[in-house]
Chain A
Amino acid sequence: MKNQTKINTFDAIVVGSGISGGWAAKELTEGGLKTLVLERGGDAEFTTSSKHPWEFTHRTHLTKEELAERPIQSSHCNATDKHFYVKDTEHPYIQEKPYKWIRGYQVGGRSITWGRQSYRFSDLDFEANKKDGFGVDWPIRYADLKEWYDYVEDYVGISGSSESIPHLPDGVFLPPIPMNAVEKHLKESIHKEYSDRTLINGRVANLTAYKKGRGQCMYRNLCSRGCPFSGYFSSNSSTLVDAYNSGKLTLRENSIVKEVLYDKETKKAIGVTIIDAITKKEMNYYAKIIFLNASAIATASILLNSVSETFPNGLGNSSLQVGHNLMDHAVNAGTYGTFNGLLDKYYEGRSPGTIYIPRFQNLNPKTENNDFIRGYGIQGKGSRENWESKTTTGIGVSLKAQLQSPGKWKISLGGRGEVLPDYNNKISLEHNNLDQWGLPLVKVHFEYGANEKAMMEHMTKTSEELLKKAGFENVGSYRNNPPPGSTVHEMGTARMGNDPKTSVLNKYNQMHDVKNVFITDGSCMTSSACQNPSLTYMAITARACKFAIDQFKTNQL
């Protein structure tokens, strides 16, 4: 091993401090490993968390300049949380077809801005590839992950209800965030109208009860600005704090990992090269274990950029699968409807929670759907219209009266569908097109297939039908489907599998080709299911860390 010094040598290096990197940092440090976390962004500053609406000069609107800097990210952020999203002009990438790569480069990554929806996968998901032949078989099953889901949920704090739905396993829950009057009404209607569907409280990583070191949610529904009470789970509120408290953590910000260094003698990775984001100087750091948690697209790009004599196509890429099988969830733009009853009911406080209609297609022969394989779930929220959503008439005193009273109830619903793994959906590097740090630009090629399109069509029609049957009026859908990437659930670029010829990682998220490199962000996903994936990244990360620590302690890495 070359150039090693005490200052830049660690037991483990974690690349990225987002949802999965935060977990790797916590587990590895608590396991006793001296760990370096390398994060390309700077400190996450919660500058807007407690601001009043009138303290924003342009309210939630982005200025023309801010929009020009964020042509892509602006669909997901506004003036209140823009600082947690990259400026596209500073971090360009190439879209062969429209694909939204939504990112936040800061300590905590997108754990600050995520929607906090947290659902387990089940064997319906882990066995799907094997059964219908799309993608390779997962090397794990629900039984391998169950205790890790328990462990992670207990720590994260997921509010939710136990429902005994076999394909959406219950977990370790805090009390659910209750449903409001119109949400309850929709639930009752669905239970009356359909035997195959149910509506449940959304499972969200917001604390409905205190947890060690963290405050309870204050029901402000301002989570995307960062929570001053640590009321929801983020790396910043939890995992990084515990990692720091272990005394084993070193966090280096503004550190863009350029490549993983490989030693062909030992057949192991020996460290990484970083580019300091500010000085643009290169530096090496060394460790026995490397965890890549830069998020699916970024991790794949690091691997593809790590070329050596042994791995001319990128580190650990003997299968030629790195970068391929990119998935996101299929999403329709949404369905809405208004409800003219329950006008004497209201609420106090603002719920950061949601309602959820779990997948109800292709579960068994009875629920078989001829239009597509696999399935989707529907997420939504009900509220009463206020000035933001009311259609008003006239001006003056009559207008004021309309604005001052709560409007009709309304509900909006949005489907989230499983995307099949497809080798043709991929990221690659453009070596003749470099960013300001001299790194090749990422090129994304992604298209929804016929199955996803059929599913999107179906989720829109179904959402409308559910609302109509429940007596909603003005039911309609935005029929412009958002481009892929919009769900921000990119995954699958370095998949797990049993066969090193067709997969990149083994069942412990260890590279088949390079045993001391672990990948536990969305890259590792073998299929996408239709549930929001981050909880699964966390469970997988904790599990892989346990394995890595054991191997480290018995000198096998």
Chain B
Amino acid sequence: MNRRKAIGGILAFAGIGVASVTGFNFFYGTSNRGKLKNYLNLLSEIVDVIIPPTDTPGAKEANVHEYIVAYMESCSSNKEFNSFYNGLHNLQDTCLSNYNTSFENCTKQQKTTVLESLDVTYDATSFLAKVDTKIRGRSFFNILKSLTIEGYCTSELGATKFLAYAPVPASYKAITTLQPNQKAWATK
């Protein structure tokens, strides 16, 4: 919350309001489901900021954006889809009004600032959070971040290069001693 406040001054996230600089209209129907594909490039840039390449691959290389589109197209509820679709547009609006350019063309620092301003981490198990989610559905960034994490950790690169993946363990050692820097298992 605090970080958001701190940067709130320079960066106003266009949360509500129908007028948007890009001229997109807010959308409440279902007809846009098929259009999400047009945002693959934008999404690939976004997920690569959330999970950037380091000594292990980033989310873009792991094709997480494709998973997100597949999920949103086929699995999301209308409510979720709308929050997500509108959220993407708001994100672009924010970049345009603050940096005069689209997210894709922002600097790495700008991209990070924009996304961090959205990452309001709150205790998802708290009563208020549950009520909030129930009424409004998951927020744009909540959907985006959790799909990015899921898509990445279950992708071939994420599971095998970033995490420890053992498809057929063959034996079970119930108690082992954790080695320094030992990676978490990809699957439960």
Contact = CB atoms under 8 A, between A and B. Distances in A.
Interface in A383-430: 383-384, 386-388, 391-397, 399-400, 403-407
Interface residues of A, number: 52
A431 interface: no
Contact of A180 (B67, B150, B156, B175): B175
Interface in B136-171: 145, 149-156, 159, 162-163, 166-171
Contacts of A181: 174-175
Contact of B173 (A347, A400, A404): A347
Nearest to A182: B175
Interface string B167-186: 11111111111100011111
Interface string B65-93: 00100110011110000000000000000
Contacts of B171: 219, 348-349
Interface in B22-81: 49-52, 54, 56, 67, 70-71, 74-77
B176 A346 contact: yes
B75 A405 contact: no
Interface in A146-189: 177-181, 184
B51 A64 contact: no
A395 B176 contact: no
Contact of B154 (A54, A64, A345, A407): A54
Contacts of A407: 184
B149 A387 contact: yes
28 contacts: A53-B186, A58-B70, A58-B75, A59-B150, A64-B76, A219-B170, A221-B188, A344-B178, A345-B175, A345-B176, A346-B182, A348-B176, A349-B173, A350-B169, A351-B172, A386-B186, A387-B150, A387-B153, A387-B184, A391-B124, A393-B119, A394-B121, A395-B49, A396-B112, A397-B54, A400-B162, A404-B162, A406-B182
Most buried by B among A61, A220, A400: A400
A184 B175 contact: yes
Contacts of A348: 166, 169, 171-173, 176
Chain B contact residues, majority secondary structure: loop
Contacts of B163: 386-387, 403-404
A180 B172 CA distance: 10
A404 B184 contact: yes
A476 B115 CA distance: 32
Contact of A52 (B50, B54, B156, B173): B156
Interface in B106-134: 112, 115-116, 119, 121, 123-125
B187 interface: yes
Instruction: Place the interface of chain B in its size category.
Output: 35 or more
Candidate in A184, A347, A348 with the most chain B CB atoms within 10 angstroms = A348
Interface of B: 49-52, 54, 56, 67, 70-71, 74-77, 112, 115-116, 119, 121, 123-125, 145, 149-156, 159, 162-163, 166-178, 182-188
B112 A395 contact: yes
A391 B122 CA distance: 9
B169 A219 contact: yes
Contacts of B154: 53-54, 59
B150 to A, nearest CB: 6
A58 B72 CA distance: 9
Among B149, B175, B187, the one with the most A-chain Cβ atoms within 10 Å of its Cβ is: B175
Nearest to A348: B173
B183 A405 contact: yes
